[in-house]
Structure 1
Amino acid sequence: MAIKDDLNYIKTEISSQEQFLENAIRSERFIKKNKKIIIAIVAAAVIALIAYAVLNQIKSSNIAESNSAYTTLLSNPNDKKAKQTLIEKNPSLFALYAIKTAYDSNSTEILDEASNLTSDPLLKQILQNAKGDNSDGLLSTYNSLVKGYELLTQNKLPEAKIEFSKIPSNSPLEPIAKNLEHYQGK
């Protein structure tokens, strides 16, 4: 009986070794057959990784340069080189600098310059609001809400109701305005 078991064991071992060799031969044939495609896929993956690393490095460099220019402009607002660097590298950060400068100096010239540079519609709306150009939109609705609340805190209820009525009914701030109006800011 032991000899039969030994023979069966040897047969299964040979069978598994045959399968291993058979799979090795199949994979070798597959690699030879698709060698160019495999090399192309590996090369594309390597190029993609290198491109990602380079773009990430460029982005980090731009962020560092724009932060440095912003810091320089905060300490020396007359630095033209830092201003130009900030405009080129990060127009959105320049817009924030313009808002701060406009509030400090009560000048809207820099806000006009920043609104011409940026392509972000929300940032343009913020710049227009900072200039005092209240247009239809979320910021003008927010301003109405804030003004109404300030009037409520001063116990000017009719003026606050008028200010709250400027908020459109489809605005996300409308329920807040209704609650403030109902509870009179308390």
Structure 2
Amino acid sequence: MNLKENIEMVKDELNSEEKFFEKAVITERFVKKYKKPLIGTVVAIVLIVVANLTYEASEQNRIESANETLAELQKNPKDELALARLESLSPQLHDVWLYSQAIAQESAAELEKLKNSKALIVNDTAQYEAAEYKEDLAALEAYSGKQNAIYKDLAMVMSAILLMQEGKIDEAHNKLSMISANSSMAQVTSALMHYGVK
């Protein structure tokens, strides 16, 4: 290596060290200038993470307590304290429990109480079951008129059966004709139209 190459190499090293120190000074100035906002951001992130972990732990504890309370109710369905505790821990699970008990007892009155439940599907099925237990034609027709009713076709079949029992064959026929051929109730509908509605 000649002297000229050595001098160029030393210059390059000095330039790179100078750039490094320059970047360090710029970073130091940036940190000094924005010290409080940076600390605030770090503290906020730590607080959010801690709050999230605390919430998840609390939620998991609530779910476990609700499941334990449900197990107690399965052992002793008449335990009013456990029922109240379940309602405070998980109102939706409480409504599912009440629904299961109302179905087991075939209690239309208890099902009526669940019509406004926030539990997924409970309010819909409770409305249908209450109308069926009471053989309430108006309630079945109102239910079958709902847009996303789960048992819509079944409610129409039940309405048709009640109409047939009242001797209103034409109305029953009209009700059955509204059920789609793709419905799971299509075979029942066909049988009723053939044997019951002549």
Give TM-score, length-normalised by structure 2: 0.70
Question: Please, which of 176, 182, 185 is the counterpart of residue 182 of structure 2?
Answer: 176
Q: How does 1:1-186 map to 2 (within 5 A)?
A: 2-115=2-115, 118-119=117-118, 122-132=121-131, 133-134=139-140, 135=143, 136-137=145-146, 138-144=149-155, 164-167=176-179, 174=180, 176-177=182-183, 180=186
Compared with structure 1, are the counterparts of its residues 81 and 115 closer, same or farther at alpha carbon in structure 2 (3 Å cutoff)?
A: farther
Contact preservation (8 Å) 2:73, 2:82: yes
Unaligned segments of structure 2, at least 5 residues: 132-138, 159-171, 192-198
What is the CA-CA distance between 1:162 and the residue it aligns to? 5.3
Contact preservation (8 Å) 2:109, 2:130: no
Compared with structure 1, are the counterparts of its residues 145 and 8 closer, same or farther at alpha carbon in structure 2 (3 Å cutoff)?
A: farther
Unaligned segments of structure 1, at least 5 residues: 148-159, 168-173
Measured in 2, the distance between the counterparts of 1:130 and 1:92 equals 18
Seq. identity, %: 24
Compared with structure 1, are the counterparts of its residues 8 and 20 closer, same or farther at alpha carbon in structure 2 (3 Å cutoff)?
A: same
Measured in 1, the distance between the counterparts of 2:174 and 2:78 equals 44
Number of aligned positions between the proteins: 166
Give TM-score, length-normalised by structure 1: 0.74
The CA RMSD over aligned residues, in Å, is 3.2
Contact preservation (8 Å) 1:70, 1:86: yes
Compared with structure 1, are the counterparts of its residues 85 and 146 closer, same or farther at alpha carbon in structure 2 (3 Å cutoff)?
A: farther
